[in-house]
Amino acid sequence: MINLEVPKKQAGLIDQAHQLAMNMLRPISRKYDRAEHEYPKELDMLAALIDGVSETGATGGAGAGGVRREEKPEDGSAKVRNGANLASVLSIAEMCWGDTALLLSMPRQGLGNSAIASVANEEQLERYRGTWAAMAITEPGTGSDSANITTTAVRDGDDYVINGEKIYVTSGDRADSLVVWATLDKELGRAAIKSFLVRKDNPGLKVERLEHKLGIRASDTAAITFTDCRVPAEDLLGSPEIDTKSGFAGAMATFDNTRPLVAAMAVGCARASLDLTRDLLEQAGVVVDYDRPAQSQSAAAAKLLQLEADWEGAQLLMMQAAWMADNRQPNSLEASMAKAKAGRVGSDVTLSCVQLCGTLGFSEAELLEKWARDSKILDIFEGTQQIQQLIVARRILGLTSSELR
């Protein structure tokens, strides 16, 4: 059974991530929010440091590349473990306490890397080691339903030829490769959707534009087209077989690992807002007393207590989803619950903190307004709030996507 406390063996990792967030990300946060699309060169040194620590094994495989379900031990033991998935969400939450956009800009820590870790075979994992992969799913006109993907991949000898367009690709310009979702056969529907590792220098791939955004401005978001883009067949992630019985399950398995990561981003960003708001309220003479009921304190203190309670619920759901992945338990329901709860709570907490701090919260004198802008995307990408609620309802009611739309 899951323990609701943060594992002691990961305390060192969490402390390291917090120190990096405080000393390296926070100081440059405002700079790169203003300098939209300018690459944060400071991240090169930080990425090299993280790579070095990872090589020692001290992080336990934490980070986007660590979200992989390990096989059940050969001896059949069912020992409860706190592994790389839990380490990843806890460390990412700390880094997003520093800055969400800079975390999303970190080399080799893209959502595409977590997709590779989720579905690639062992040979591919070794071959792609060191790559920085963006995730290319969303298309014009498909909305939030990934099953409506129209980008095609047609087998031609030893290659697949990809044609289509992807939009809102996080790190789509800076990353050196993309995990592209495409269909092998439109007539077979969801079951034919596969993901491919496409390198940025492949002929036929073109970055069309970069988006100007409300938040996460330090992170580049690109629109990309594929025109007869040839990809070696060996770069199809996982199995090339089309299994109509499992349908979309293989592709959706990626989200079971990546949605807790996005929940972690929202948890970290919201925690930053709560910490700063508490300090600013104390400076204004409003001290939260955790030993007294909310109704006997000021309205501001009572509101902060309510926000912290909501935040803790999001954190626990995030940890549960990651812990289940570490222990080889199906977690589609829990991953969507974590993403839905954390996304909603993140937006509510950051905006409420702006309101609690009044003009100071609205001003650029503090980072509260930036965190409110950054947090909104965390309720949108990797499946919107509404889509997560729909998935949760289907799982609980035992209904298919055609039965409950």
Residues pairing with 193 in the sheet: 183
What is the per-residue DSSP string for 358-376?
HHHHHSTTSSHHHHHHHHH
What is the per-residue DSSP string for 334-360?
HHHHHHHHHHHHHHHHHHHHHHHTHHH
Which residue type is seen at 256? D
CB of 289 closer than 8 Å to CB of 127: no
* SS3 category, 155: strand
CB of 105 closer than 8 Å to CB of 43: yes
Cα 226–chain centre separation = 25
382 flagged as catalytic = yes
Copy the structure tokens of residue 252: 């959706």
- Please count the CA atoms within 13 angstroms of the CA of 57 that sit on its side-chain side: 0
CA angle, 101 then 371 then 390, to 5°: 85
For residue 6, what is the DSSP state?
A: P
Rounded to whole angstroms, the Cα distance separating 228 from 124 reads 23
Residues pairing with 154 in the sheet: 161
Backbone angles phi, psi at 258, to 5 degrees: -85, -30
Burial 144-172 (b: 16+ CB within 10 A, else e): eebeebebbbeeeeebbbbbbbbbbbbbb
Residue whose structure tokens are 């075979």: 121
CB of 221 closer than 8 Å to CB of 210: yes
Provide, for the chain, the percentages of residues in helix, strand and coil under a 3-state DSSP scheme, each rounded to the nearest 5. 55, 15, 35
User: 282, 369, 382, 403: which one is catalytic?
Assistant: 382
> For 204, left (φ over 0), alpha (ψ -120 to 50), or beta?
left
Which of 51, 28, 59, 23 is CA-nearest to residue 41?
A: 28
Residues pairing with 180 in the sheet: 136, 196
CB of 354 closer than 8 Å to CB of 361: yes
Which of 216, 214, 229, 215 is CA-nearest to residue 178?
A: 229
| Residues belonging to the active site | 382
